Amino acid sequence: MNQRPKIDLGMTGYEELFMNDQERADARKPKVEEIPIAELFPFRDHPFQVREDEELDRLKESIRESGVLVPALARPKEGGGYELISGHRRMTACKALGLETMPVIIRDLTDEESIITMVDANLQREHILPSEKAFAYKMKYDALKHQGTSSQVGTKLRTDEYLAQNSPDSRNQIQRYIRLTNLIPEILDMVDEERIALTPAVELSYLSEAEQHKLYTAMCYDDATPSLSQAQRLHRMSQEQQLSEGEITEVLSEVKGNQKEYVRIPAEDLRRFFRPDTTIKQMQDTLVKAMEYYSRFRERQSDRDSR
């Protein structure tokens, strides 16, 4: 017996036949649910850190006074619960305040859609470390490649060009950030700490893992980091397979242009001479004044001894 073909009216249920346009629109809006925090899990390989800083303190205070104003976004997780896509800082703040639930929008998203949404939401944050941008861009780049976004939108854009269209950085800058994912964690930490600038770090990312470990050991021993020109030389020497420990030490030992000499004293060794709220700059100024006073004292002592 032949069956009649089903007609797709583009509706989600029989009840929509009796709805007006406004009711249909309201029915299709994302629903905000109060989800138990115990059922929310961080996004897999989430590249953005949740830091205990002033921003998090302000967020806690805001939630304490007004609640969570912007719902988090999550998707159902295999085995139960939900995987957070955006809202990790809000969840941390809610936990710290002892809240048991938080408002969340639940959506069924693919891995690629989840990664793209997660990265886009977090790139709007005010303070982002270079390492966070590096792994976030790499994740989104791989997701777009796997998704085939360029062909879907009917363009001939390269993936990194399409990525730049929806990002605060240019295509070339995004490529530089992605290169940072090739750095060993110890050197990448130095980039986050602003001890190594982005452009020299990109040059260092072309060194092999073994060469980077040798470089890191030399930097710690000599308390020195390479300038851009030195990093470029290390890159070339690595390509020519001439980058030995001796070569690394020789490059780092060169005096860089406009380089200043510093006497480094751990702050912990000086704290006992100052009030707890004294800044590093105040300690430095006080030490200079103390040495000036000591120098004048030595001069007067020398004058008395010569009489």
pLDDT tens, 256-275? 654 455 566 777 778 788 88
pLDDT of residue 101: 93
Stretch 54-77: mean pLDDT: 91
Q: Average of pLDDT values for 222-238?
A: 92
% of the chain residues with pLDDT over 70: 82
For residue 19, name the pLDDT band (cuts at 50, 70, 90): low
Q: Of the ranges 30-44, 226-240, 286-300, which one carries the lowest mean pLDDT score? A: 286-300
For 103, the 3-state DSSP assignment is: strand
Q: Does 101 lie in the same domain as 50?
A: yes
Whether residue 91 sits in one domain with residue 145: no
Q: Which domain holds residue 48?
A: 30-108
Give the helix ranges, DSSP H, for 47-87.
54-66
* Structural domain count, the chain: 3
Mean of the pLDDT values across residues 95-124? 90
Task: Evaluate whether residue 304 is within a structural domain.
Answer: no
Average of per-residue pLDDT across 88-116? 92
In a domain, 45, yes or no: yes
- CATH at 101: 3.90.1530.10
Mean pLDDT value across residues 114-122: 88
201 and 154 belong to one structural domain? no
Task: Tell whether 207 and 163 lie within a shared domain.
Answer: no
For residue 17, pLDDT beyond 70: no
Among the listed residues 38, 35, 37, 15, the one whose alpha carbon sits nearest the alpha carbon of residue 27: 15
| Non-local CB neighbours of 30 within 8 Å, separated by 6+ positions | 105, 107
Query: Is 103 inside any structural domain?
Result: yes
Q: Poorest-confidence range of 21-30, 232-241, 292-301?
A: 21-30
The answer to the question of residue 147 being in a domain is yes
User: To 5 degrees, how large is the angle CA 233–CA 130–CA 195?
Assistant: 55
DSSP letters along 123-159, please?
TTSS---HHHHHHHHHHHHHHHHHHTHHHHTT----H
Residue 301 lies in a domain: no
CA distance 123 to 116: 11
Tell me what the mean pLDDT of segment 64-74 comes to: 92
Domain co-membership, 166 together with 146: yes
Task: Tell me: do 66 and 94 sit in the same domain.
Answer: yes
Judge whether 91 lies within some domain.
yes
What is the pLDDT at residue 96?
A: 92
Taking the C-alpha atoms of residue 195 and residue 226, their distance in angstroms, rounded to an integer, is 10
Cα-flanking dihedrals φ and ψ of residue 171, to 5°? -60, -45
Give the end of a domain, one of 139, 155, 182. Answer: 182
User: Could you tell me if 190 and 177 lie in one domain?
Assistant: no
Q: Is residue 302 included in any domain, yes or no?
A: no
Q: Same domain, yes or no, for 51 and 91?
A: yes
Q: Does position 15 have pLDDT exceeding 70, yes or no?
A: no
Q: Which of 224, 253, 282 marks a domain boundary?
A: 253
Q: Which residues, including other chains, have CB under 8 Å from residue 18's CB and lie 6 or more apart?
A: none
Indicate whether 164 and 195 sit together in one domain: no
Q: Please indicate, yes or no, whether residues 246 and 193 belong to a single structural domain of this protein.
A: yes
Across 119-135, average pLDDT? 86
Can you tell me whether residue 16 is helix, strand or coil? helix
Mean pLDDT of 107-134: 87
Distance CA 159, CA 153 (A): 12
Are 53 and 102 members of one domain? yes
Q: Looking at this protein, which amino acid is placed at residue 193?
A: E
233 and 207 part of one domain: yes
Please give the structure tokens belonging to residue 224: 């020195």
Q: Which two tokens stand for residue 135?
A: 């792994």
Average pLDDT of the residues in 124-152? 81
> Is 116 contained in some domain?
no
